[in-house]
Amino acid sequence: MNYYVMTLFPEMIESCMNTSILGRAVEAGHIKLEVRNIRDYTLDKHKKVDDYPYGGGAGMVMEAEPVYRCFESICSELGERPRVVYLTPQGQVFRQEMAREYSAEKSILFLCGHYEGIDERVLEEIVTDYVSIGDYVLTGGELPALVMMDAIARMVPGVLNNDVSAQTDSFSDGLLEYPQYTRPVEFMGRSVPDVLLSGHHEKISNWRQEQSEIRTRERRPDLYEKWKTENLS
């Protein structure tokens, strides 16, 4: 899996992608990451990448040219036009099914905007997918790109130690995950449920399924209704 990121804040992407499970996935070669600073592609002698919006209004708009030149350089390296994801609150809201679909792509290029956005003309030229991570407004596309890369990466074979956990985690079967416990067996007067100490695998598995259903019904009634219509019909 190849991730390309076009951004004005490469260190934001690099620092997160060097850490924890994602860092190990990059280190181990399960994921290849290429971060490009859009500012390196401006022809302006002062390295300016933004300008005032035509028609007036607050803030600055990222210019088309540096974004396009950055895109072209990545395309010539790849020898093809990759899927280009533009992170914007105006996009389709990112979901687990989308993470699974993207994990089958060979390359994904993430375009991170800042300020009041990017000149519409370069978006029309290069963007294939407009994606949002939820209904709230962030200062830029870097955190959303990292959220997407994390969710996609964990679906890529080899990234998680245990192949099963990507499949059994919350959402993958439409239910939230059951509660987990580790030692000690008692903490502040609260004990680990007896069934988990029983060694009886079938009882444990039934208990976990039941807990997932209860938890989903209580915390995410919307997901629970959807799961019920898909599983109890």
- In the complex, which residues of this chain contact ligand 6GU (CB under 6 A)? 87-89, 132-134, 136-138, 140-141, 144
Alpha-carbon span 102 to 147, nearest angstrom: 13
Closest approach, Cβ 94 to ligand 6GU, in A, equals 8
Closest approach, Cβ 86 to ligand 6GU, in A, equals 8
Q: Active-site residues: which are they?
A: 89, 116, 154, 169
Spatial strand order of the sheet with 83-93 comes to 32-37, 2-7, 107-111, 83-93, 129-132
Alpha-carbon span 212 to 32, nearest angstrom: 35
Closest approach, Cβ 103 to ligand 6GU, in A, equals 19
CB of 137 or CB of 164, closer to ligand 6GU: 137
Q: Which of 114, 144, 149, 108 is nearest to 129 (CA)?
A: 108
Q: What is the DSSP string of 8-75?
A: S-HHHHHHHHTSHHHHHHHHTTSSEEEEEEGGGG---TT---EEPPTT--SS-EE-HHHHHHHHHHHH
Whole-angstrom CA distances from 149 to 80, 96, 219 are 21, 12, 26
Q: Which two tokens stand for residue 26?
A: 């990059």
Amino acid at 84: V
CB of 54 or CB of 136, closer to ligand 6GU: 136
Cis? peptide before 184, omega within 30° of 0: yes
Alpha-carbon span 114 to 50, nearest angstrom: 10
CB of 128 or CB of 165, closer to ligand 6GU: 128
Closest approach, Cβ 110 to ligand 6GU, in A, equals 10
> Tokens 């990222």 map to which residue?
62
CB of 137 or CB of 188, closer to ligand 6GU: 137
CB of 22 or CB of 85, closer to ligand 6GU: 85
Alpha-carbon span 213 to 205, nearest angstrom: 13
